[in-house]
Each structure stands twice: as C-alpha cells, then as structure tokens.
Amino acid sequence: MIGVGRVDRIAEPWGTRTPYGCGEVWPVRVDTHLADGVRAEDVERWVGTASILHSNGDAMDIAVKDGRMVGVRGRADDRVNHGRLGPKDLFGWQANASSDRLTQPLIRVDGRLVECDWDTAMDRITTRTKELLKEQGPSAIGFYTTGQLFAEEYYTLGVIAHGGIGTNHVDGNTRLCTATAAAALKESFGCDGQPGSYTDIDHADVIALFGHNMAETQSVLWSRVLDRLVGPNPPALVCVDPRLTAVAQAATVHLAPKPGTNVALMNGVLREIIDNGWIDQDYIDKHVVGFGELRARVKEYPPERAADICDVPAQKIREAARVLGGARRLLSTVLQGFYQSHQATAAAVQVNNMHLVRGMLGKPGCGVLQMNGQPTAQNTRECGADGDLPGFRNWANDAHVEELARVWNVESAQIPHYAPPTHAMQMIRYVEDGSIRLLWVSGTNPAVSLPELGRIRSVLSQERLFLVVQDLFLTETAQLADVVLPAATWGEKTGTFTNADRTVHLSEKAVEPPGEARPDLDIFLDYARQLDLRDKDGQPLVKWHDAESAFEAWKECSRGRPCDYTGITYAKLRERGGIQWPCNEDNPEGTERLYAGGTFWSDPEYCESYGRDLITGAPVEPQEYKAMNPSAKAVIKAAAYQPPHEPADEDYPFLLTTGRTLFHFHTRTKTARSPQLQAAAPEVWVECSTRDAAATGLREGDLAEVSTPRGSIRAAVRISGIRDGVLFLPFHYGYWDTPAGHEPDLHGRAANELTLTDWDPASKQPIFKTAAAALHRIEPGHGPSLAPTNTASAPAANDLPRTAGGAEAEAEENRGTAPEGGAR
Ligand SMILES: Nc1nc2c(c(=O)[nH]1)N[C@H]1C(S)=C(S)[C@@H](COP(=O)(O)OP(=O)(O)OC[C@H]3O[C@@H](n4cnc5c(=O)[nH]c(N)nc54)[C@H](O)[C@@H]3O)O[C@H]1N2
Ligand SMILES: Nc1nc2c(c(=O)[nH]1)N[C@H]1C(S)=C(S)[C@@H](COP(=O)(O)OP(=O)(O)OC[C@H]3O[C@@H](n4cnc5c(=O)[nH]c(N)nc54)[C@H](O)[C@@H]3O)O[C@H]1N2
Ligand SMILES: [Mo]
C-alpha cells in the first residue's frame, strides 16, 4: 500500500490532498477510524452503509466486534467518496452507544413521562387516532417527519397517511431544508431530481457555489474540489456567501452580498451574461421557453444597481459574470444561503436559468446541484412523506392520482388531492388553532429547529394536542410529548437512502438496537396493523412486513416515473455500492446525468408540478401550464428583487444569519455525544466583523446579548471574517445537555429563539438567514470564544491556536489501493 498515514481529522477536516487533473479519475484514499485499542485485525465484520450526517452519501463500512460498533472505514470502490470520510462520518457513530439512548416507550401520566411497554404506548396512540377520526375526521391528524429515516420508512408512512388515514397534513423537516431544491427543480424542469452528478467536479472548468458552505457541510465533496484545485488545470471557483468560509478563501471570485439579496445579485450576473452574448441561442431556441421574459427582467439590473442592493462592488459582479459566462463546463451548487430566504425559489431558479441560457446541462462538467442537506431528504420527497405524492406524481393531475390509487388499490377519492399538501409551518399553525389534535413527530427536533421557539414551545405543549415523538433521545421536543417512542437508527436497522446526486445506497443493520428500541419501519407497520387499514378489497393496505419487502413495494410505485428504482435490488446494491436513479430496464446501470440532449420530464401529462408564481406562490393552473409549455421544454422564470421582510433599523441595526459549523449536526443529538466533535465546538458563539466589534465595544470572547423582536440569547463573541453589518449564529445549541441540577435556560443559546415565522411563497421554506438584530456587550469573557478556528468561524486576526483533536481524533489514510478484503 502506498502512503499510509495518521492524520488528526479535527485539525485537518479534509485530510491529505490527492491531486488530480481535469477529466481524470479522483484517486482513492481510504479513511479509517477505529476506537481506541481496536486494531483492524480485531474487527469481526464490516457492514456496509453510507453517512447519515449530511447529504453527501459517503459510503462506508461499520466495524463490528463483540456485537458493538468499534469504528468506520470509507469504501474505496464507491462512486461518491472513493474511500474518504469526513469528521462527522469518522466520529459521529459513537452516539449510537450513548448511555442515555431511549430504551423503552414513555407515556405521560399525571404530567410526568414514565416508562411503559410497547403495547401500552401504541394502544394510546391508536385509541386517540380512532377517536379523532370519528370526532373530527382525517384532518385532525398530522405527521411531521424528517430527512433522516430510510426510503422504506417514508413510503410506508406516506401510504398510511395519504392512502389509509387520508390526511393532507404530512410534511418533513425537509420543508426547512430542501423544499426549495425541489421547488426550483420543479419550476425549471417540471420535476424534482438533480440534473448533475458529483463527477461533474472532475470535468468542470468553473465551479460556482451559491450560499453553500460545502467545505463544512459536505466536507468530502469539498475534498474532491480541493484535489482538483491542487492538480493540473484547476477549475476557477465562484463563491457567493456573506461569510469568509473556506470556500470563499479558495475562490477566484468571492461575492459577499448582504443577506437576502440573492435575486438582485443573480439578475445582475444574468444581465451581464446575456448582454455580452455568453449564451447558447441554439439551445435556448430548441429546448427552453421563457427566455424573452428573463432578458427583459434582468435589463432592470445593471451591475451598478445590483451592486447597490447587495452592497458588493459592481466590478465584482462583472468579474463573476465573466468567469461564469466564459465557462466551458460549468457546475453550480446551491444551498441554504439561497434556500432559507424570502425569495428562495426565485433565487435558486436563477441558477437554473444561467445553465439553461448557457446550454450547460446533461454533459460532463455541466451540472446543477440544487443540493440536499439531510442524508435521506431526497427520499422524503420521492416517497411522498413531504406531502407530495410518491413517485413525483402531480397532485393536480387526476390521471396521476388514479394511477397511484391503482398501485395502492384504494379509491382515488381516498387520496387527498383537493389542494397542495399542507406545509410544516401551516401544520404548526393548525396545531396552534386547534384543528390538528394529534401530531406525530418522527426523527426531528422542532423545539430547537423551527423558527421562533417561544411560539413553538407554547404550540407543542398545549393540553389539547396529543403529541407523539419518535426519537433516539429525550430531546427538547420529546420532553413535551404525550407518548415517546424509542427508535432504532442507522446501523441498527436496514434500509436504503439516496444522496444529493441521486445515488442510492443500502444501509445494513450492524448491531442490535439498545433495550426495546425498534426500527421506525416496524413502528409504522405496527400502527397500520393496529388501525386495521384496508385496501378497497378488504385486504391489508400495507402489504409488506420488512425493509426489503417495503423496498420492493416502493419500486413498483416508482415504475415509469422519473425516480424509477425498478432496476435496483438489495443484492445489486450490496454488490455494486451506490447506484444513481433512474435505474430500470432502459438504464440498468443507473443514470449519471439527467436531461442529456435537452430532453425534460416537463410534459404536461408527465410533469410533477405545473409550478407556482414565484412572487405570490399561487399554483399555476394546468391549462396555463399547457399553454406556456406544451412540448416538454425547460422553463425559464424571471423574478424581480424584493427586499427582505425584516430590514435592519435603528433598534436592530444588524442582519442576523444562522447556519452550521463543520463539527456539529443540527441539534447535536449525535455530534454532542461524540467526544471529538463536541470538544471541537462545545458552546454557542456569535460572529461579527472587526469593524462591528470595535463599534460595539466588543473584544474576542466577550459575552454578548443578541436580540431580535422575538427574543434574546447570550453568546461569546468571535470576531471573524464575516462581512460588516451581519451577525452569524450556529443553530446547533439547544438545551438538552443542560448539566444535571441546573434549570435549562430558555433564554439561553438557541438561535431559533430569534428567527421569524415567515417563509418563501413558492417553496414554503422558512427564512433562517435574515432577521434584524441588535448586539450588546454584557461582560468580559474568560479568554477567547470556543468557536472553531479552522472553519468559517476562524478569527479575523488569525491569532488563536488552530482547533485540533489530538491522538483521539486521528484517522488512518490509505492512499492508492483498497484495503485488504475489498471495501466491504
Ligand atoms: N457540518 C454539518 N454539515 C451538514 C449539516 C450540519 O448540521 N452540520 N447539515 C446538513 C443539512 S440538513 C443541510 S441543509 C446542509 C446545509 O449546508 P449549507 O447550506 O452549506 O450550510 P449553512 O451554514 O446553513 O449555510 C450556508 C451558507 O449560507 C451563507 N448565507 C447566509 N445568508 C446568505 C445569503 O443571504 N446569501 C448567500 N448567498 N449566502 C448566505 C452562510 O454564510 C453560510 O456559510 O448541510 C448538511 N451538512
Ligand atoms: N436557525 C436555523 N434553523 C434551522 C436551520 C438553519 O440553518 N438555521 N436549518 C434547518 C434545516 S436545513 C434542517 S435540516 C433542520 C434540522 O432540524 P432537526 O431535524 O430538528 O435536527 P436534528 O438534530 O437532525 O433532529 C433529528 C432528530 O431525529 C433523531 N433521529 C436521528 N436518527 C433517527 C432515526 O433513525 N429514527 C428516529 N425516529 N429519530 C432519529 C435525532 O436524535 C434528532 O433528535 O433545522 C432547520 N433549522
Ligand atoms: Mo437541512
């Protein structure tokens, strides 16, 4: 083996460089981390899976010894990561064995949660369900799920909710996460599904990241970009982000706009591209509708005007447009800096427009990745657990509903399709006003992750609400529940999931779940059984009994649809590793890129959606759509810029934005239980610029109060490279890990105490990236803040020691060859 080394992967999150050139194959580097004292030869089994702590889909094996997880190793032969793992992949698995896992169901008795058996817990839930169905009907029941279960589980939940109970109130936290990815893809291409592929990184000569801190949120994908950057013919990089992320530092052009101004920026860039003729008129004529409208709209945004709105130099907009317009193979990625804002879909669609006017789709190096965030968010969308109908079927197309009714063997009237599915923020509103009485939350922690937490806590703790929470831990949300169900998770159950470039992986059970914890699938199957849900012939509605039979059922439902899984089997996934859908008779090996040759899924009879008005969100009528796009072309939609709804003012002079750090995942239920990750970012901080710190009389590490019209929290100040006028808070820090004997400080540290109840009109994704805020000094700190120093939160003065993990955080890197015994 060549180049074996040990690397502190907290200090070096992206590991050692393996340079490669344009069009070459990304070299293999296999990363392994084993628990202290465990040697590779001690490992009894390696069990195949992929990462569950982001959307990248890094393929890996779990090391098992004496029935316990003892480490992980990247899979050399998988298309996604070629063996590499990121810090969360390497260390996050330790949370599974945490001593405070839920091991038994809990029910509320006299105001307190007490342990009980499964029959008692499930009986409470089914009894309450039946009562409500009788008293109020299906709309009394809502399901709020996640982007972190498996496809089989979502499909089962979708069948129960839509086909069995008949409620339209089904959504996932994917609403907070990738609703805009789905919405933008539907607007432009008539259907969800990423056009691009990760291999586009190997071929691109320009890579553009829009509101996407890939270095921290898809760290293995960023390693791929870094390896291109140090190889021959490196690509140029464009970064649009108000913070000085590692992406921004590596960029050829970095634009740091004022939060909430993305549409103005994109319009400015598009105007330059169109004005300079950097377009593919032939492609536009053949494959696109709506170009005229775009050309007219962006005329209103000369670089000077866009620069004024975004507060960036006009010259930089020109420079960015020149790089983007000169690209021969352009890859763009889009994520939360675009998605979690008031014009989310409008902004994300402009990135699609850029690719359409330049004809850069469906060819190596030419791709758009409207990224996902959560590991299995793609499946929530595909399987209909986000409220949409499974298989990307169109709720406004009766033929699609009838087809689905045939697959499920139910009457089509049974499947709610009278209106768009209820989105999560609206579901919370229905709980608030008392029309939803039973809310079943699985795999998400809304008491930390939804905006305006004061409101969320009061909504979820209402007496009249029957709240079911299905989780691994007694989270902030679980503490408010009437019934808590202990779930088995990744590594303890089997199922499939699909990453951001349509790669499907099989995740196999490696160890037994703790105590009486059960796979989410078994819980849903049990619920269907106890409710005695039937099809129209009186047979059980849910006809499967385990993960593989659920997968086979889902395959049938996907047949003939864009996300066609019919050519995939568990056996094939075991043998081959990741496979990209569609995979069927026509494409038995899967499909690398969509929309080659300008063929789209946007035919009125086939498309997933007729789209929406980007400004009002009103659904486009079928007739309107047919008139606009009769022959399955791509759709260009223009949008005027609108200012954010809560601008800064005298009382709240800053713009607050929120997001992530490399070392934590969301509400930290897993990463805070991993010693290496928790140590790297143990406490909340707030970032501000050098200028703003000086003006506010703040020094590094001082305790500050951050407030918005919703509330205030306290955090230690990190003076970082963030742009002036903007504050950044990581949203990872809730209250569950308050030390014993201390009251949780509800005015403590969760970013979402401060965020607002508001969303994008088209995707309904909440706005986490802009709010008006104030910053005040409370008292001096005890030294610098505990924010990481090797990420976007690095100190502007570069005067603090680099975050490191020491010996505990070392991983082995094997370069060039697969480890003995292959990758499985
Ligand atoms: N380490 C880690 N990785 C993760 C996750 C995690 O929690 N931790 N979560 C996963 C999930 S579910 C998701 S959704 C993804 C999210 O991945 P990202 O979207 O990459 O992460 P964020 O930090 O939410 O936001 C990205 C960037 O948007 C910038 N931004 C803020 N406001 C604006 C704006 O108005 N315009 C522009 N252009 N940029 C702006 C922020 O400065 C930030 O750097 O990460 C996934 N991967
Ligand atoms: N201010 C602000 N807020 C945000 C964001 C932001 O950028 N800023 N980002 C938003 C985004 S993109 C996202 S994705 C959300 C994430 O928000 P959440 O989904 O609330 O965050 P997680 O901590 O991932 O919560 C997942 C829960 O599921 C549990 N879980 C894990 N695996 C399993 C399993 O197999 N079965 C079951 N039943 N439970 C499991 C975990 O223990 C955890 O409690 O936050 C959103 N909120
Ligand atoms: Mo997300």
Q: Are residues 588 and 676 in the same domain?
A: no
Using pLDDT thresholds of 50, 70 and 90, give the confidence band for residue 801.
very high
Closest ligand 2 atom to Cα of 490: 35
CATH number of 332's domain: 3.40.228.10
Pairing of strands 438-442, 466-471: parallel
Q: Tell me how long the chain is.
A: 824
Residue of 154, 176, 477 best suited for mutating to test ligand 2, as the one with most atoms within 8 Å of CB: 176
DSSP character string of 435-460: S--EEEEES--HHHHSS-HHHHHHHH
**What is the mean pLDDT of the segment spanning 733-740?**
81
Q: Are residues 388 and 364 in the same domain?
A: no
Q: Are residues 153 and 26 in the same domain?
A: no
Look at residue 644 and tell me if it is in a domain. Answer: no
- The CA 493 to ligand 2 mean position distance, Å, reads 19
Q: What distance in Å separates the CA atoms of residue 169 and residue 430, rounded to the nearest whole number?
A: 9
Q: What distance in Å separates the CA atoms of residue 591 and residue 673, rounded to the nearest whole number?
A: 38
Give the residue among 448, 513, 441 at the shortest CA–CA distance from 484.
441
Q: Classify 812 as helix, strand or coil.
A: strand
Q: Are residues 564 and 576 in the same domain?
A: yes
HEC string of 297-353 equals HHCCCCHHHHHHHHCCCHHHHHHHHHHHHHCCCEEEEECHHHHCCCCHHHHHHHHHH
Closest ligand 2 atom to Cα of 751: 1
Given a cut of 70, is residue 745 above it in pLDDT? no
- The CA 343 to ligand 3 mean position distance, Å, reads 18
**What is the mean pLDDT of the segment spanning 652-677?**
97
Residue of 88, 472, 660 best suited for mutating to test ligand 2, as the one with most atoms within 8 Å of CB: 472
Are residues 440 and 143 in contact, defined by beta-carbon separation less than 8 angstroms?
A: yes
Number of Cα atoms under 13 Å in the Cβ half of residue 212: 29
Q: What distance in Å separates the CA atoms of residue 748 and residue 762, rounded to the nearest whole number?
A: 33
**What is the mean pLDDT of the segment spanning 743-752?**
76
Does any ligand 1 atom lie closer than 6 A to the CB of residue 373? yes
Taking only the tens place, the pLDDT of each residue in 771-782 is 999 999 999 999
- The CA 373 to ligand 3 mean position distance, Å, reads 4
CATH number of 783's domain: 2.40.40.20
| Ramachandran assignment for 217, one of left (phi > 0), alpha (psi -120 to 50 degrees), beta (any other) | alpha
CATH number of 568's domain: 3.40.50.740
- Which H or E run contains 696? helix 690-696
Does any ligand 1 atom lie closer than 6 A to the CB of residue 241? yes
pLDDT at position 736 is 83
Is the full-model pTM beyond 0.95?
A: yes
Taking only the tens place, the pLDDT of each residue in 99-123 is 999 999 999 999 999 999 999 999 9
- The CA 335 to ligand 3 mean position distance, Å, reads 9
pLDDT at position 822 is 39
Closest ligand 2 atom to Cα of 668: 23
pLDDT at position 821 is 40
Closest ligand 2 atom to Cα of 658: 8
pLDDT at position 1 is 47
End-to-end CA distance of the chain: 18
**What is the mean pLDDT of the segment spanning 226-232?**
98
Cβ-Cβ contacts under 8 Å for 571 (sequence gap 6 or more): none
Number of domains in the chain: 4
**What is the mean pLDDT of the segment spanning 632-657?**
97
Q: Are residues 195 and 76 in the same domain?
A: no
Q: Between 344-357 and 262-275, two packed helices, what is the crossing angle to 10 degrees?
A: 20
Given a cut of 70, is residue 734 above it in pLDDT? yes
Taking only the tens place, the pLDDT of each residue in 512-523 is 999 999 999 999
Taking only the tens place, the pLDDT of each residue in 573-615 is 999 999 999 999 999 999 999 999 999 999 999 999 999 999 9
Look up the domain containing 550 and give its range: 106-176+378-597
Q: Are residues 583 and 443 in the same domain?
A: yes
Given a cut of 70, is residue 819 above it in pLDDT? no
Number of Cα atoms under 13 Å in the Cβ half of residue 797: 12
Does any ligand 1 atom lie closer than 6 A to the CB of residue 146? no
User: Which tokens belong to 28?
Assistant: 């293999």
- Cis omega (within 30 of 0) on the bond before 582? yes
The residue whose C-alpha atom lies closest to atom 33 belonging to ligand 1 is: 337
Q: Are residues 339 and 251 in the same domain?
A: yes
Taking only the tens place, the pLDDT of each residue in 321-335 is 999 999 999 999 999
- How far are the Cα atoms of 306, 337, 617, 618 from residue 761, in angstroms, in the given order? 22, 16, 5, 8
pLDDT at position 4 is 78
User: Which tokens belong to 364?
Assistant: 């190596």
Look at residue 799 and tell me if it is in a domain. Answer: no
Residues with CB under 6 A from ligand 2: 146-149, 173, 176-177, 336, 340, 373-374, 442-446, 449, 470-473, 475, 487, 489-490, 520, 658-659, 666-667, 669, 731, 751-752, 755, 768
Q: C-alpha angle with apex 128: 122 to 131, nearest 5 degrees?
A: 140
Q: Are residues 366 and 458 in the same domain?
A: no
- The CA 719 to ligand 1 mean position distance, Å, reads 19
The residue whose C-alpha atom lies closest to atom 4 belonging to ligand 2 is: 449
φ, ψ for residue 139 (rounded to 5)? -75, 0
Q: What distance in Å separates the CA atoms of residue 478 and residue 521, rounded to the nearest whole number?
A: 19
Does any ligand 1 atom lie closer than 6 A to the CB of residue 89? no
Using pLDDT thresholds of 50, 70 and 90, give the confidence band for residue 744.
low
Look at residue 646 and tell me if it is in a domain. Answer: no
Look at residue 97 and tell me if it is in a domain. Answer: no
Given a cut of 90, is residue 680 above it in pLDDT? yes
User: Which tokens belong to 138?
Assistant: 């299906």
Q: Exposure of 642 by Cβ count < 10 A (0-12 exposed, 13-18 middle, 19+ buried)?
A: middle
Give the residue among 166, 154, 250 at the shortest CA–CA distance from 208.
250
Cβ-Cβ contacts under 8 Å for 398 (sequence gap 6 or more): 412, 417
Q: What distance in Å separates the CA atoms of residue 667 and residue 444, rounded to the nearest whole number?
A: 9
- The CA 374 to ligand 3 mean position distance, Å, reads 5
Q: Are residues 592 and 664 in the same domain?
A: no
Look at residue 200 and tell me if it is in a domain. Answer: yes
Look at residue 187 and tell me if it is in a domain. Answer: yes
Cα 172 to the center of its chain, rounded Å: 11
- Which H or E run contains 6? strand 2-8
Q: Are residues 266 and 405 in the same domain?
A: no
CA dihedral 655, 656, 658, 663 (to 10 degrees): 100
Q: Are residues 65 and 52 in the same domain?
A: yes
Q: Are residues 438 and 490 in the same domain?
A: yes
Look at residue 627 and tell me if it is in a domain. Answer: yes
Look at residue 643 and tell me if it is in a domain. Answer: no
